[in-house]
Amino acid sequence: MKELDATGNHDGYTAQKGREYEFAGAHRQSSYGRSLSSPIAHAQQTRPSLTDMKVLITGASGLIGSALSAHLSSTGHTVIHAVRGDSTETSAHAVKWDPRTGTIDVDKLVGVDAVVHLAGAGIGDKRWTSDYKREILESRTKGTSLIASAIAQLPTKPSVFLSGSAIGIYGATGDEELTETSPHGSGFLADVCEQWEAAAAPAVQAGIRTVYLRTGIVLSTKGGALKKQLPIFKAGLGGKFKNGKHWQSWISIDDEVAAIVHLLSSQLSGPVNLTAPQPVTNGQFTKELGRALRRPAFQTIPSFGPKLLLGGELAEALLFTGQRVLPNALSKDGFTFAHPTLDVALRALLARS
């Protein structure tokens, strides 16, 4: 097996100890009772039909990756999973890689038409110790550099590299409306996202169309923030964080998958915000979720509890600050959201939970 390290050399190196985390999630049916393939069908309404593609996905077992993998497979595409070096999966549809050691089976990348890179350590999985913050950063930069370097050296390169990122790159900006042309912010998450995107440089330099998937809060009853909130809100104990004025830029899982599929055949490159066109404040989100569940949601959650539980920096970054992000690039490119407003998204998601 030919292996490529993150510097482009064919002999791996030992990276600092860390773990690769992937989003956790499961296959789901789409909104309004549509079939499994509906988010892809939704995307294809606004683009010419995709031809059969061979798509490599990292983070394929996760919330976003599993939904994307299922939808691509259901419409006749060949999906290849990047699996950890210690994985027992040995099928023809698996590519061994290990960002920790900087190795990847380059030979199995031959013939790949597109790469969707979603793997990285969970932002909110642990308290932000110095070691875990390093892991959050390096799981993204090393994994991205490794995959970008590998595909850049293929004799026939993929047509597109969709590389994960997040709206945290804009930092805490209050009520300012943010688009793809807005400047990068400051703080840990902004710094991580900036380095994460920069790590894709080998693909860009090789002429591969590269898109940075600046994803917002992905709403799904199967994983992520909404799943954690549902038991609390169903018990009538839901509430806003502090004054509830900070913004939450969200996207339904259906639209997240559909947007990624759209970008496989689009000509867009560079940063693309994957958020719904109507972000809401935390107070508005709380009100809408309570209304959708027909439960009171009048609590006000002070900052000291979450900060004590999660640590001050993590709680402040994830729960008490936010961004007002608009999906200008997607909208201008002809993408149509199935769930443009929060009430529509919540009704659809809860109806099938």
Is residue 227 situated within a structural domain? no
Residue with token string 């038409």 = 113
| CATH code assigned at 120 | 3.40.50.720
Q: Give the range with max mean pLDDT: 24-33, 294-303, 336-345.
A: 336-345
The mean per-residue pLDDT over the stretch 258-282 comes to: 97
Q: How would you classify the pairing of strands 270-274 and 239-241?
A: unpaired
Query: pLDDT digits over 197-250, tens only?
Result: 999 999 999 999 999 999 999 999 999 999 999 999 999 999 999 999 999 999
Read off the pTM.
0.85
Tell me the C-alpha distance between 219 and 253, whole Å: 6
Give the percent of the chain with pLDDT over 90. Answer: 73
Examine residue 271 and state whether it is found in any structural domain, yes or no.
Answer: yes
Q: Kindly state whether residue 248 falls inside one of the protein's structural domains.
A: no
User: Bigger pLDDT: 42 or 194?
Assistant: 194
Q: 84-129: per-residue pLDDT in tens?
A: 866 555 577 899 999 999 999 999 999 999 999 999 988 988 999 9
57, part of any domain? yes
The count of domains in the chain is 1
350 lies in a domain? no
pLDDT > 70: what percent of the chain?
83
Please tell me which residue, 21 or 322, carries the higher pLDDT value.
322
Residue 241 lies in a domain: no
Mean pLDDT across 128-136: 94
Which residue segment(s) compose the domain that 81 sits in?
31-218+253-277+326-339
Neighbouring residues of 64: CB distance < 8 A, sequence distance ≥ 6: 23, 25, 118, 215, 218, 253, 256, 257, 260
Bridge pairing between strands 114-117 and 239-241 = unpaired
For residues 93 and 56, give the distance between their C-alpha atoms in angstroms, rounded to a whole number: 9
CB atoms within 10 A of CB 92: 8
123 domain-assigned: yes
Residue 98 within any structural domain of the chain: yes
pLDDT at 22: 30
**Taking 90 as the threshold, does the pLDDT of residue 28 lie above it?**
no
